[in-house]
Amino acid sequence: MGDTGYGLGVAAGDYDNDGCPDLFVNNFGRNVLYRNNGNGTFTDVTNRAGVQRSNENLVGAGACFLDIDGDGNLELYVGNYSSSPTTSTSSASSAASPPIPRPSITCPPPTPSIATTATAPSPT
């Protein structure tokens, strides 16, 4: 996908509600939000979605998508450590995902997982 950072975590979620799972990569350096184009490719929409960090001297410490306010839209929560020697506090930021105009696409449904059942031997 072209990310040159040191990936420390990833979160998958449909931030733009188009039915396709998007990816957020938490890095040492610039974090990146990738929009799923629905055709096997992804586009970096970090700046357009407003989730860029103002301080690139942070170290990614995890991220998740969740609907924290119950409005039906996913929010992105990102944890970062500071790599600056002047502070040792951790910070968290959140950003709602504004809609980005795009053509209508259809993502293929996920492949169902095959469940297997194992039977334990009877005790003798």
Non-local (6+) Cβ contacts of 107 within 8 A are 18, 19, 20, 21, 36, 38
pLDDT in tens, 28-76: 878 889 999 999 899 999 888 888 776 667 777 888 998 888 888 888 8
Look at residue 100 in the predicted model and tell me its pLDDT.
Answer: 45
Say if CB 26 and CB 49 are below 8 A apart: no
How many Å separate Cα 66 from the centre of its chain?
A: 10
Instruction: Report the predicted TM-score, pTM, of the whole model to 2 decimal places.
Output: 0.65
- Tokens representing 35? 């929009």
Best CA proximity match to 102, nearest among 20, 23, 18:
18
Q: What's the whole-number mean pLDDT along residues 104-123?
A: 55
As a whole number of angstroms, the distance between CA 77 and CA 111 comes to 27
Position 115 scores a pLDDT of: 52
Token code pair at residue 76:
């992105």
